[in-house]
Amino acid sequence: MDNAELARMVEAEHPYRGKALFELCDRLPHDDDAATKVAMLSRLTSLRQARLFDRVSLAWSAIIALLAAETPHARASAYEAFATLDPAEQRDLLDYLEVTAIEEAHPRIG
Protein backbone atom coordinates (compact mmCIF):
# COMPACT_ATOMS: atom_id res chain seq x y z
CA MET A 1 0.00 0.00 0.00
CA ASP A 2 1.16 3.53 -0.62
CA ASN A 3 1.32 6.27 2.01
CA ALA A 4 -2.03 7.80 1.08
CA GLU A 5 -3.82 4.45 1.37
CA LEU A 6 -2.29 3.79 4.78
CA ALA A 7 -3.20 7.29 5.97
CA ARG A 8 -6.79 6.79 4.83
CA MET A 9 -6.98 3.57 6.87
CA VAL A 10 -5.86 5.46 9.97
CA GLU A 11 -8.25 8.35 9.35
CA ALA A 12 -11.16 5.97 8.78
CA GLU A 13 -10.42 4.21 12.09
CA HIS A 14 -10.00 0.92 10.25
CA PRO A 15 -9.50 -2.05 12.60
CA TYR A 16 -5.87 -2.17 11.36
CA ARG A 17 -5.26 1.56 11.82
CA GLY A 18 -2.47 0.91 14.33
CA LYS A 19 -0.69 -1.40 11.90
CA ALA A 20 -1.16 1.14 9.11
CA LEU A 21 0.31 3.90 11.30
CA PHE A 22 3.28 1.73 12.27
CA GLU A 23 3.91 0.88 8.61
CA LEU A 24 4.05 4.60 7.85
CA CYS A 25 6.38 5.07 10.82
CA ASP A 26 8.71 2.39 9.45
CA ARG A 27 9.07 4.51 6.30
CA LEU A 28 10.01 7.72 8.12
CA PRO A 29 13.81 7.55 7.85
CA HIS A 30 13.61 7.43 4.04
CA ASP A 31 10.31 9.10 3.13
CA ASP A 32 9.43 12.74 3.85
CA ASP A 33 5.90 12.19 2.57
CA ALA A 34 5.38 9.52 5.23
CA ALA A 35 6.67 11.98 7.85
CA THR A 36 4.22 14.62 6.72
CA LYS A 37 1.35 12.14 6.88
CA VAL A 38 2.35 10.76 10.30
CA ALA A 39 2.55 14.29 11.73
CA MET A 40 -0.88 15.08 10.32
CA LEU A 41 -2.33 11.85 11.68
CA SER A 42 -0.94 12.54 15.16
CA ARG A 43 -3.39 15.43 15.39
CA LEU A 44 -6.44 13.16 15.09
CA THR A 45 -8.54 13.03 18.23
CA SER A 46 -9.02 9.31 17.74
CA LEU A 47 -5.25 8.73 17.89
CA ARG A 48 -4.87 10.98 20.91
CA GLN A 49 -7.47 8.94 22.75
CA ALA A 50 -6.30 5.48 21.64
CA ARG A 51 -3.92 4.12 24.27
CA LEU A 52 -1.22 1.61 23.45
CA PHE A 53 -0.41 1.23 27.13
CA ASP A 54 -0.56 3.37 30.26
CA ARG A 55 -0.55 6.98 29.06
CA VAL A 56 1.10 6.33 25.68
CA SER A 57 -1.33 7.03 22.86
CA LEU A 58 -1.06 6.27 19.17
CA ALA A 59 -0.48 10.01 18.69
CA TRP A 60 2.47 9.92 21.08
CA SER A 61 3.89 6.89 19.30
CA ALA A 62 3.66 8.81 16.02
CA ILE A 63 5.54 11.79 17.48
CA ILE A 64 8.15 9.51 19.04
CA ALA A 65 8.65 7.73 15.70
CA LEU A 66 9.12 11.09 13.97
CA LEU A 67 11.77 12.03 16.52
CA ALA A 68 13.49 8.66 16.23
CA ALA A 69 13.72 8.92 12.44
CA GLU A 70 16.33 11.65 12.98
CA THR A 71 15.83 13.33 9.59
CA PRO A 72 15.46 17.12 9.46
CA HIS A 73 11.95 16.88 7.99
CA ALA A 74 10.76 14.22 10.43
CA ARG A 75 12.09 16.12 13.45
CA ALA A 76 10.54 19.40 12.26
CA SER A 77 7.27 17.52 11.76
CA ALA A 78 7.56 16.08 15.28
CA TYR A 79 8.04 19.54 16.77
CA GLU A 80 4.97 20.82 14.92
CA ALA A 81 2.88 17.85 16.03
CA PHE A 82 4.08 18.25 19.62
CA ALA A 83 3.09 21.93 19.56
CA THR A 84 -0.52 20.94 18.82
CA LEU A 85 -0.81 18.90 22.04
CA ASP A 86 -2.40 20.66 24.98
CA PRO A 87 0.11 21.86 27.63
CA ALA A 88 -0.66 19.06 30.10
CA GLU A 89 -0.14 16.42 27.43
CA GLN A 90 3.09 18.12 26.34
CA ARG A 91 4.38 17.92 29.93
CA ASP A 92 3.36 14.26 30.17
CA LEU A 93 5.11 13.38 26.91
CA LEU A 94 8.27 15.21 27.95
CA ASP A 95 8.15 13.38 31.27
CA TYR A 96 7.73 10.05 29.46
CA LEU A 97 10.70 10.87 27.20
CA GLU A 98 12.68 12.04 30.26
CA VAL A 99 13.60 15.41 28.74
CA THR A 100 12.75 19.01 29.54
CA ALA A 101 12.29 20.13 25.91
CA ILE A 102 11.13 18.20 22.86
CA GLU A 103 14.30 19.19 20.99
CA GLU A 104 16.32 17.19 23.53
CA ALA A 105 14.47 13.95 22.76
CA HIS A 106 16.33 11.38 20.69
CA PRO A 107 14.40 8.15 21.26
CA ARG A 108 15.50 4.90 19.68
CA ILE A 109 12.96 2.50 18.28
CA GLY A 110 13.51 -1.14 17.84
**Has residue 20 been placed in a domain?**
yes
**Has residue 41 been placed in a domain?**
yes
Per-residue pLDDT of 33-75, as tens digits, reads 999 999 999 999 999 998 888 889 999 999 999 999 999 999 9
Q: Domain total for the chain?
A: 1
Quote the domain boundaries for residue 31.
3-104
Per-residue pLDDT of 70-109, as tens digits, reads 999 999 999 999 999 999 999 999 999 999 999 999 999 8
pTM, to two decimals: 0.94
Q: Are 20 and 9 in contact (CB under 8 A)?
A: yes
Q: Computed from CA positions of residues 21, 57, 38, 74, in that sequence, does the dihedral angle turn out positive or negative?
A: negative
**Has residue 110 been placed in a domain?**
no
What mean pLDDT comes out for the span 14-30? 96
Distance CA 73, CA 9 (A): 23
Distance CA 110, CA 101 (A): 23
**Has residue 98 been placed in a domain?**
yes
Q: What is the mean pLDDT of the chain?
A: 96
DSSP characters for 31-81?
-HHHHHHHHHHTT-HHHHH-EEETTEEHHHHHHHHHHHH--HHHHHHHHHH
**Has residue 109 been placed in a domain?**
no
